[in-house]
Every structure is written in C-alpha cells, then in structure tokens.
Chains A and B, each alone.
Chain A
Amino acid sequence: MSYHSVGYFAAFLPAVLILYTLTPKEHRWKSLLGASLVFFALWSQWAVIWVFVTALLTWYFGNKLAAMKKAPKGEDRKAFKKHKKRIQTAGVISVVLLLAVLKYTNFFGSTLFGAGWVTKRILVPVGISYYTLQAVSYMTDIADGKYEPAPSFWKLLLYLCFFPTLAEGPIVRFPDVSEQYFAGNDITYVNLTQGYQRILWGLFKKMVIADHLSPAMSSLYTTYKTIGSMSLLAMLFCTIQIYTDFSGTIDIAIGTAQIFGIRLTENFRQPFFAKNAGDFWRRWHITLGVFLRTYIFYPVSLSKPVRTLTKKIQGVFGKKAARYVGPMIALLCVWLTSGIWHGPEWTYVGYGLYYFAVIFIEVLLEEPIKKHIDENALWFRIFRFIKLCVIVGIGELYFMAPDAATAFTMFGSIFTNFRPEVFINEWSMLGPGLTDYMLVFFSFAIVIAVSICKEKNISVRAKLERMPSAVRWSFWYAAVFYVLFFGAYGPGFSAIEMMYAGF
C-alpha cells in the first residue's frame, strides 16, 4: 500500500483515525504502533519481522549504553570509555550489518565474485534504509548521553516504524518526536484540515507532475539515449520528476503525521534557491544531510587518525593546505555513505563521488570568488542559478540512469550528437501528449510560485485562511478536483511507485 493509493486514504487512514480517536489518550500510541505494523505488513508481508530484529538490537544496546553513564568508582575511566565505545560500535554494526545482509548481499556478491553471482531473492523490508539510520542515531545519542532511552521496547518500535515516515522518511531523531508520538494528542479540526491540505499538496506534486513524466523517462533512457537534445530533455524531466515525487511523498508523510498532532522535521526547503551544491544539500533531503553531518562528518573530521594526518600535512604543505584535509576526508566519507545508502548499485556510489567532487571544487573556489566577485550582483545570481541547475541536472540524469555507461553516453551526446530536429519532430512520441506536457509545466509553475513565496517567508496557506469561507471552500474543491481529474492514475496509466521508497 503506497501513500498515494486510494486504499490509503479511503480505508487505512480513516480506520486508523477512528481507532486512534476511540482509544483512551494514554494508549493512543499503541493504536499508532498497531497501524504502523499493519501498514508495514501490508507492504512487506513477513519481512516485518526484520524491523523487530532491528528494534530488539537497538533496545538491547541502547539500554546497555544508557546504563553506562559514568564509570563506576574505582574503575579506570579510560578503560570504561573504551568498553562503552566497543558496545556502541557493536550496536551500530549489528543494525548496519542487518541492512547490509538484506539489501546489499547481491551487490557485494556480484562485485566480489562476478555478475553471475546470485543468491536467493531476499525480501527487503520497506524503509529499512531509513529506520536503520534512526536506530544508529538513537544508539549514538544514548551513548553520548544526549537523552534517556525509550521507556519501553514497543515505544522504540513505534519510533522506528511510525507509518507516515516508514517508506521515505523524513529521518527523525528520537527526542524530536518521542513526546509527540506517545502523548496521544487529540485530533483537532486545525490539524485535521491542515494535515489533509498538506497531503493534497503532496498528491498534486506526485500524481499531477511526477507521474505524468514517468512514461517519457523510459524512452529517453533507451531509444533516445544517443540524441543530445533528448538527453537534455531527460535532464530536465528527471530533475522535475525526482523533486516532485520525493518532496510530494514527504508532504503526504508530514500531512498524515500532522493529523495526529505530530510535527515531523521538514525534508525540503526550496532547494533550487540554493547558492551552490553544498547549500542545495542543506535544502534537499535535509534529514539525511543532518544525519550524515552529525554521525559521519563531525566524528570523522574530529577523529584521531584524521587529526594526525592533518598535522603531518601541515608540516609538509603548510597551514592553508592542511585546513582542507580533515573536512575533505570527512566529506568523502559522507558522500560515499550517501551514495551507497541510496542503493546497491555502483551508479549511486558514482553519484556520491560526483557531489563530493563538485562540493570539493566549490570549497576551493569559495575564497577567490568572495574576493573578486560581488555575490549580490544580478548577473552572478543568474549565473549561480544556471550553474546549480546544470550541476543538479547532471547529478539526477546520472542518478536515474540504469548504468554508468548509459549516463555517460547521454552526457556525451549533448556535445557530440545534439540533433535538435529529433526533439522538434519526436517530443510528442515519448508517451505524454501535448495536453500532459501543458499540464505538467503549468502545475510545476505553481510549485515554483509557491516556493518563491516560501523563500520570501510568505505563507500561501495563511493568506488563504484569511479569505472568506466561500473563497476558501471553492479553492479546496478546485484543488481536490484538479488532482482527481489531472492525476496520472487508473485506466490508461501505469501504476507508479514512490521513487524513494526503493532506497
């Protein structure tokens, strides 16, 4: 069951709402847990067992670490810390190993033993990459004494598999949500209506924009992969598609949680208004970025081996060069992790390395640019925007490619075999018709307009709420009708899954 299916809205969510409302306040979190497990099982069948295994490991190591706040009197503090670190490492490795076995066995097997290496098909539970990161953050924070562990195993299980965040995140930290999950908030009119409005916005992005572009993508990556003009179109389409699909699904997740009075962390903040690639990643998939920064970047850059290496480099090449060593090693680890996290494919590793290279160059050029260019000049801002679009477009084209060779063929074709006449004559044969294209571009223009307002701190919804009720009701009727009428679903359309649920 996916978040944009009728079953989710017409059956699952109303059933959970009724169950939640009828349950006494102190037990409502149990309704959410029950709903989450049912949702999990509907999606992943018996593989639901694996989230229990992760939860048990997290529960065991979390409690063990929580019990080790201070070194007992008379015990060697250094040895105690070392012991604690070992337990923390064992905990993290155990859940990551489970992820690796379930999701990456075939990847590592075929890498080590050749493409012919196959195992029995492993049923990978939905959201394993997301809840494993939450488990890692939980154990690491408990070890650092940042907060108390979950009061019960079942509450920890709810934290790991809360159904709106299960498939695509956002990746939340325990203290940010635990109180909200367990408080049993009443369902209020404001939360209910605003939650559904947010869900509608997500459905608009996912079903009206992203899913309409989907049929074109397969032709662009196969039939037209050697035609430069079509590769350029693929770059544009896949960027729009990934953004609207992923952010749309996150809107549905955040909207669903809001209905239950739970505020989840935002995962997108107008990414195309970023100043550079580094800034882009602080606005795109924010919660993954925060995780990687907190649990990979800082620990690696402050680790002993890196500090030692920095000192050595300083001795040979001077202070200026040494300044980059720690952050760059940490950045490389961040992007390798990010790449491999996205999936068991070498293209994702390449995708991570691509962003590492781009951000590395950006960091090197930061100072000279600041010295010689007025960053507020209009020409520079336009240049910066185009540069960002090109960087992101190349990244997404590579990200969506079935393999690296196809991606490189497509990049190459832009410079060697552009052939604009193919685009002019055959754009209408890609799948979507003229009406679909007009619809997609008009709808995406709405997304851009709303993003501009958000960037300027203008809340469109707040403005709308101040309007007379006749206007508001008409607006929401029109919005529901727009999604129902123009959405890509049902007869004549292939069912399109949520893109990030596969990661």
Chain B
Amino acid sequence: MNKKKNLVKIFGFLCGLAMILTAASVIVRPKDNDVYNLPSYVRTLENLNGEKENTVDVLFAGDSEASDGFSPLQFWSEQGISSFNIANPAQILPDTYALTAQAVKNQDVKLLVLEASCLYLDSDIYSKDPYLRAAEKLFPIVHYHQAYRLLKPRSVSFGKVRKTDALKGFWLKTNVREWVGDPDYMGDPAEPAQPFGYMAGDMMEKLYALCQENGIELLIVSVPAPAYWEYSKHNAVNAWAEEHGVTYIDMNQMNEELGMDWTQDSADGGNHLSFSGTVKVNAWLGQYIKDTYAPADHRGDAQYDSWKDALEETGLYGVNS
C-alpha cells in the first residue's frame, strides 16, 4: 500500500514538473521560428522593431564578420541608405532566417546583404548530444533557458519596443592587431569547393525562398578576412550563387582596390575588420549598392530621423547627413 502511494507521489511530482516545464516553454519559445541564440535574437529584434515601420531598406546579416564589418551609419552618412545590421557574433543561418522573417513583417526590405562566413557554421539549432537534443525538443525551455540572460533589471520585454540601437546593429571595435602573411592568402584558385556547415545549405535555400517571396534581392558578400577566408570557401559560395542567379562579391580579391592596410585594418590579426577596415569596405560597398540597386537617398526626410539622430549621437563619420 505504502509502495503504491509512493509511486503515485513520484508520478505526480513528475507530471507536475512536466506541466511547469511545458508552461515555461510556451512563455519563452519564439512564436514563429525556432532559433539558436534566444538572447541575441530578442535583443536584435527589439532594436530592429525600434525603427519606424517601412523605413529599413537594406538588411545586413551574417556572423561576427558581418556584425563587426557593416556599419549602417556609414551607409547613411555617405549614400543616405537606411539600413540595419541584424548580424551577431557566431550567428547561425536559422537565426538570420528568423530575424529576416520578422523584419519583413514591419519593414519593406529591398536588399539583404549576407556575409558568407556564416555558411561555414553548423546551422543546427539544437545540441549535438542526442539526449539533450531530445530534451530541448520535448521541453523548449531546456533549449531556450538562456532567456534568463534577458532578465536584466532594465528590460524584461520580449515584445515590440520603441527602442533602437544607436549603431543600428554594428559592433564597433576599437582594437587593432596587425595581420602578417602572404598577400595571396586565399591560396590556389583551383581549390575544390569546401562543403558548407551542417544544414547550412538547407537553410540557405530557405532564406533564398523567403527573399523571393518578399521581393528582396539577395547579395552575398565576403568581407576581407585574411586569416580565415580561402578559395575553397570562395568557390563553394560562388557555385551556390551562380546556381541561384545571386550576386556574390568576394572583397578578399579586392584588397588593393579597397586600399587595405593590414597593419591597421584588422582588429585581431586577420579575422575581423578594425574600424578603419570597415570604413574602407563600407565606402566601396555602399557605392556598389547605390549603383546597382539604387536604394533611395533618405537624407533630409524626417521619417528617417532615426539614422540622422544616431549619427549625431555617435559623432561617427562626420555629421553630414
């Protein structure tokens, strides 16, 4: 009798626990798309949602190469392009997809610029450990428990907040570390293509389809990264781009044209651009976007004051908006 009662107690406790975990899962799980890194997804979305509706024409996406590389304020300052950078360090394609899918709900995005290095990250949002993976799928709170990192005293909101990031998603780096190496760092152009990261190919198809559905042009770019980028990757990205009729620009092949000086233009010995490196890269890319896709110059339009104000607030690139 006692044994039966104890078994009922254990079973009851476990059922109660399952109910609590299910309820918590419902609270933290994003509504539309599952993501890998919930805190950076939520913060980026909050910042993006802080922009007025239909004011963002261009989105920049990718991993740290993109978050450290593309500065929307420079594009505003030089070409009057209203853009936002939704990239984050180590951001994988499912998170980029989810952010883009959210962005198109409020914004009339015309161009998505994807930095290619994220294609070499595994695009699986769940853990590799099969047991943990099963637990994450059964109780999404296990997958999204990083939500606690959003519990800062200043903000607990998951929703749409009128608040934006002064740098529009750009991660400005002040450090400089020289890169020394072979100027032909990409190796042999005949290198066989290196396959994308796990599931990255599938996610690219999904992202491409999303762009097509929403009339967004997709532009794939590789920012100069002498310690990281090579022809095996270039060839794989190029093949994908050609197959899908998408433009791919590898700026690693344009070091001279861009005037890259690797004593100053790398933040960390060739992996990421320093601020001076981003200035050179963005100057060229902004002009290219302007010439090729002809986005409107919104400087002087009060609807777009968010960019003007941010530029004044940060004091970057001279205040010539």
Residues of A within 8 A of B (CB): 5-7, 10-11, 189, 192-193, 433-436, 439, 473, 476-477, 480-481, 484-487, 489-493, 495
Contact = CB atoms under 8 A, between A and B. Distances in A.
Contacts of A5: 129, 131-132
Interface string B137-168: 00001110111110110000000000000000
4 interchain residue pairs of minimum CB distance: A7-B131, A6-B131, A189-B6, A6-B132
B241 interface: no
A435 B38 CA distance: 15
Nearest to B90: A492
Contacts of B21: 481, 484
A490 B147 CA distance: 12
A433 B145 contact: no
B227 interface: no
A222 to B, nearest CB: 13
A492 B95 CA distance: 13
B37 A435 contact: no
Interface stretch (B12-20, B99-107, B274-282): B12-20
B39 interface: yes
B310 interface: no
Nearest to B16: A477
Nearest to A432: B149
Nearest to A481: B20
Nearest to A9: B131
B300 interface: no
Contacts of B6: 189
Given A7-B129, A10-B135, A435-B151, A492 B146 contact: yes
A494 to B, nearest CB: 11
Contacts of A476: 13
Given A6-B135, A477-B20, A492-B37, A484 B149 contact: no
Given A473-B16, A476-B13, A490-B143, A481 B24 contact: yes
B13 A439 contact: no
18 contacts: A6-B131, A7-B132, A189-B6, A435-B148, A473-B16, A477-B20, A481-B21, A484-B21, A484-B141, A486-B145, A489-B145, A490-B127, A490-B132, A490-B136, A491-B125, A492-B37, A492-B38, A492-B39
Contacts of A486: 145, 148
Given A435-B152, A492-B37, 9 more contacts: A189-B3, A435-B148, A476-B13, A489-B145, A490-B142, A491-B38, A491-B143, A491-B146, A495-B129
Contacts of A11: 131
Contacts of A192: 10
A434 B152 contact: yes
Interface string B117-132: 0000000011101111
A273 B27 CA distance: 42
Interface string B11-50: 0010011001100100000000000111100000000000
Nearest to A493: B146
Nearest to A12: B131
Interface of B: 2-3, 6, 9-10, 13, 16-17, 20-21, 24, 36-39, 125-127, 129-132, 134-136, 141-143, 145-149, 151-152
Contacts of B3: 189
Contacts of A439: 148
Contacts of B17: 477, 480
A477 B131 CA distance: 21
A435 B149 contact: yes
A59 B3 CA distance: 40
A10 B145 contact: no
Contact of A484 (B16, B126, B142): B142
Contact of A490 (B145, B148, B152): B145
A11 B13 CA distance: 19
Nearest to A433: B149
A485 B145 contact: yes
A7 B130 CA distance: 8
A7 B127 CA distance: 13
Given A490-B136, A491-B37, A492-B39, A473 B13 contact: yes
Interface centre among A439, A476, A492 (most CB of B within 10 A): A492
A485 B129 contact: no
Nearest to B6: A189
A64 to B, nearest CB: 45
A481 B20 CA distance: 8
Contacts of B2: 189
B194 to A, nearest CB: 24
Contacts of B136: 490-491
A480 B16 CA distance: 12
A6 B129 contact: yes
A199 to B, nearest CB: 15
Nearest to A483: B145
A10 B131 contact: yes
Contacts of B20: 477, 481
A433 B153 CA distance: 13
A485 B148 contact: yes
B121 to A, nearest CB: 13
A322 B244 CA distance: 87
Contacts of B36: 491-492
Contacts of B147: 485
B158 to A, nearest CB: 15
B85 to A, nearest CB: 20
Contacts of A495: 129
Contacts of A480: 17
Nearest to A8: B131
Contacts of B132: 5-7, 489-490
A5 B129 CA distance: 9
B16 A485 contact: no
Nearest to B7: A189
Interface centre among B125, B145, B146 (most CB of A within 10 A): B145
Contacts of B141: 484-485
Contacts of A433: 149
Nearest to B126: A491
A489 B148 CA distance: 13
Contacts of A491: 36-38, 125-127, 136, 143, 146
